[in-house]
Structure 1
């Protein structure tokens, strides 16, 4: 069996187009068949557009990283960390893992764990002591992954994607 080789690299504003592609692709792969297709595409066009990623990456405290497969450096996943925007009691030392996505073909390869470790390291480098995230409450595989990493549920949020009401669990990892 061949071992998958990969590396992580920091993203900047110049990566906004590529983040848009990977962000939309992984989101569609994750939620196709769960959310209405036209609603999902509209959500991607709004929230995963190059302009949306440019805005994120223009903020001084935002960090993003790609996981790239070798050889060839094809992006297979990414993380996006930023100031928290979650409906829980926030602390000054909080940071949010806004996105962590990996194409399903690469689940179980160690890349997801490496992305999570990078998120924790970036959080510490920012001088933050608690990492928060939101996860769809029926995404049991993701919830299990986060629990194995030490996250605990601290709240919930509801939001609308098109005509579908969605519910996230909000989870926190104290560092």
Structure 2
């Protein structure tokens, strides 16, 4: 099988509706079957709103990119720098806050290309590491990140509605 090379399209405020719809859809596609519907809806009612997406798009230290294949959105990534980072907020790191690929495009190395884009962006900026949070029960994603050089260094609670879950914090040290 040949690799499907994606193009990246930076999301702008004009893309807010598309990003909101796509973000909500991929989140539910990945996690709805593993969580109570009321917790999914409670989380989505605050995480996936027009105002929140607009605020994120307007943040000068947050960037969204759509993964495009044959003029179709197949996934997206959100990266954060500086104070936009959700946890560490260190000037020498880049956070991958979200990375999703629609199910019908799994196995096409789109997630790998998105992750490599984040790593290359951090290297281009001379940063020391890339980090992210991943649900402790998302074994497929954890394996993917480990395969790409990420190691668990901590954890933190993640509230999905009234369900207190644990996200593993993983990072990849970058070489100069």
Relative to the length of structure 2, the TM-score reads: 0.88
**Equivalent residue for 1:19?**
19
What is residue 165 of structure 2 aligned with on the other side? 166
Q: Given that residues 22 and 76 in structure 1 are in contact (C-alpha distance below 8 angstroms), is that contact kept between their aligned partners in structure 2?
A: no
**2-structure distance, mates of 1:18, 1:123:** 26
- Aligned-pair distance for 1:123? 2.2
Q: What SS class does the counterpart of residue 33 from structure 1 fall into?
A: helix
Please give the alpha-carbon distance, in whole angstroms, between the structure 1 residues aligned to 2:68 and 2:41.
25
Is the Cα–Cα contact under 8 Å of residues 4 and 110 in structure 2 kept in the other structure?
no
Counterpart in the other structure of 1:67: 67
Which shows bigger deviation, 2-11 or 138-147? 2-11
CA contact (8 A) 1:131 1:174 kept: yes
Q: Does residue 133 of structure 2 align to residue 134 of structure 1? A: yes
SS in 1 for 2:67: strand
5+ long unaligned stretches in structure 1? none
In structure 1, distance between residues paired with 2:56 and 2:124: 18
Alignment length (residue pairs):
171
Give the structure 2 partner of residue 107 of structure 1. 106
Q: CA deviation at 1:5?
A: 5.8
Any conservation in 2 of the 1:67–1:76 contact (CA below 8 Å)? yes
When the two chains are superposed, the root-mean-square deviation of aligned CA atoms in Å is: 1.9
Deviation at 1:58, TM superposition (A): 1.2
Map Cα deviations across residues 17-65 of structure 1 (whole Å, 9 max, x no partner).
Answer: 1111111111001101211113212322311223212111212121111
- Normalising to structure 1: TM-score of the pair? 0.88
1:145 match:
144
